[in-house]
Amino acid sequence: MRHVIVGGGVAGITAAMELARRGGDEVVVFSDEPHPYYYRPQLTEFLAGHTTMERLVRRPLEWYAGRGMTLRLSTSVTRIDVDAHEVTTAAGETVPYDRLLLAMGSLPFVPPIHGADKEGVRTWRTLEDTLILEQVASSCQQVAVLGGGLLGLEAARGLRGYCHHVTVVEVFPRLMPRQLDEEGAGLLQTFVTSLGIDVILGARCEAFEGGARVSGIKLGDGRTLPAQTVVVAAGVRANATLAEAAGIRCDRGIVVDDRMATSAPDVYAAGDVAVFRGYSWAIAPIAQAQGRIVASNMAGDDARYDVVIPSTTLKVVGIDVSSVGLVNPEAGEAQELRVLDAAAGTYKKIVVQDGVIVGSIIINDPRLAKALEAKIAGREQMTADEAQRLIGVGDPT
């Protein structure tokens, strides 16, 4: 049996390794990137100069070949024929499959801003993007990062080592608005600015200024922020165009069931490109979990996927931020227990709903963060008093 996998990221490679471990079947992975698998969250450390290419890309092609996997790098799949059970590459090569996994991940979203096609306006998603950013950032005086979420902050932190003046511009009134609340975001902002990174909140970019090359960004309030490089970190979108063209059911991504199966026979999807129960979280732990499930089903088992509690970890020098589960409930839905110690640089919050711990925000207490993540994943029962004892003195709100 031939298993064909489109996408060499965490979901695709996790599935490929599991299928190869079982043995007996052919496993072919197509990746449009020139490098073998690397763990994308470590690109931050690579951009910041805290890890090397050798440590980032740990396994050469020979390692995969020795374990029964064929990696086709720099090879894009441009067409799927679900009736003929075959895929076609950009070079016109036709490759048949018995079972197909679509794990193309996601693509950076660039808002429709005037001047977005100017030289110097970039996105950051891949290792190739990182290598280019290293070159361009080292030759400019000012960098602007559009987006104060996880990706934008990590980009700003890495670029600070190359450029003296880095500014993060966030349209919402706080950093990491999806993962943090007002208190946690305020403490995070203090850390970020202590690294020499400027932060502008509640500001929208209206246009990229300059000639052929960007020279700055125009904000909605009329201000102009000088910048010779702009990194757009405004979120991602599922890379589902290939599946849509093949007639596979999509809704903001490729729709899958709990076996990670799509609407097409013998075609599966996993990772950022997959939408399960209406959601695509686009984070590595979920992609890895889905990769294991889909491999089992492609191999003939009957494995079922359930929602993995979404968690976000941001590690910067002096900063350790953990956000797990439901952290910003609607008013009256849950009890929120919180303790902020600005002097110590810590923030601890637990969300309890119907007697169960459902979310937490922990800044600079990794041991507590890990313990709470396990409790949230296990949907452990917890009272407000128990939550207060875990985080110290605090009043339920």
Span 195-207, pLDDT tens digits: 999 999 999 999 9
pLDDT-above-90 percentage for the chain: 79
Residue 65 has pLDDT above 90, yes or no: yes
Does residue 125 share a domain with residue 228? Answer: yes
| 397 inside domain | no
Nearest to 346 by CA among 393, 397, 296: 393
In a domain, 114, yes or no: no
- pLDDT of 45 reads 86
- Look at residue 92 and tell me whether its pLDDT is greater than 60: yes
CATH of residue 48's domain is 3.50.50.60
Q: Which amino acid is at 202?
A: G
In this predicted structure, what is the pLDDT of residue 393?
58
Whether 38 and 65 map to the same domain: the answer is yes
The amino acid at 119 = E
Would you give the end-to-end CA distance of the chain in angstroms?
57
Say if 112 falls within a structural domain: no
Same domain? 243 vs 223? no
> Is residue 51 domain-resident?
yes
Q: Answer yes or no: is pLDDT of 315 > 70.
A: no
Task: Tell whether the model's pLDDT for residue 394 goes beyond 60.
Answer: no
More confidently predicted of 192 and 319: 192
- What percent of the chain is predicted at pLDDT more than 70? 97
Per residue in 103-160, pLDDT (tens digit) is 999 999 999 999 999 999 999 999 999 999 988 888 888 999 999 998 899 899 889 8
Same domain, 183 and 265: no
Residue 396's pLDDT is 42
Whether 319 is covered by a domain: the verdict is: yes
Same domain, 147 and 225: yes
Strand-strand pairing, 274-276 and 267-269: unpaired
Residue 113 belongs to some domain of the structure: no
pLDDT at 279: 85
Of 276, 298, 320, the last residue of a domain is: 298
In degrees rounded to 5, what are phi and psi of residue 93? -75, 135
- pLDDT level of residue 317 (50, 70, 90 thresholds): low
Question: Do 182 and 257 fall within a single domain?
Answer: no
Assigned domain for 251 exists: yes
Q: Which domain holds residue 174?
A: 121-232
Confidence of residue 395 (pLDDT cuts 50, 70, 90): very low
CATH number at residue 385: 3.30.390.30
Task: Specify whether 211 is located in the same domain as 184.
Answer: yes
Same domain membership, residue 196 and residue 58:
no
Regarding whether 140 and 84 lie in a shared domain, the answer is no
pLDDT tens digits, 205-217: 999 999 999 999 9
Q: What is the pLDDT of residue 9?
A: 95
DSSP 213: B
pTM: 0.89
pLDDT of residue 27: 97
What is the CA angle 298-310-369, rounded to 5?
130
**Boundary residue ending a domain (298, 320, 348):** 298
In a domain, 307, yes or no: no
* Contacts (Cβ under 8 Å, ≥6 apart) of 307: 276, 277, 279
d(CA 108, CA 89): 23
- Among 194, 210, 232, where does a domain finish? 232
As for how many domains the chain has, the answer is 3
Structure confidence by residue, pLDDT tens digits, 232-283: 999 899 999 999 999 999 999 999 999 999 999 999 999 999 999 988 888 8
Q: Are residues 45 and 87 in the same domain?
A: yes
Could you tell me if 126 and 226 lie in one domain? yes
* Tokens linked to 67: 């374990």
Residues 199 and 242 in one domain: no
Query: In angstroms, rounded to a whole number, what is the distance separating the alpha carbons of residues 291 and 14?
Result: 5
Mean pLDDT over all residues of the chain? 92
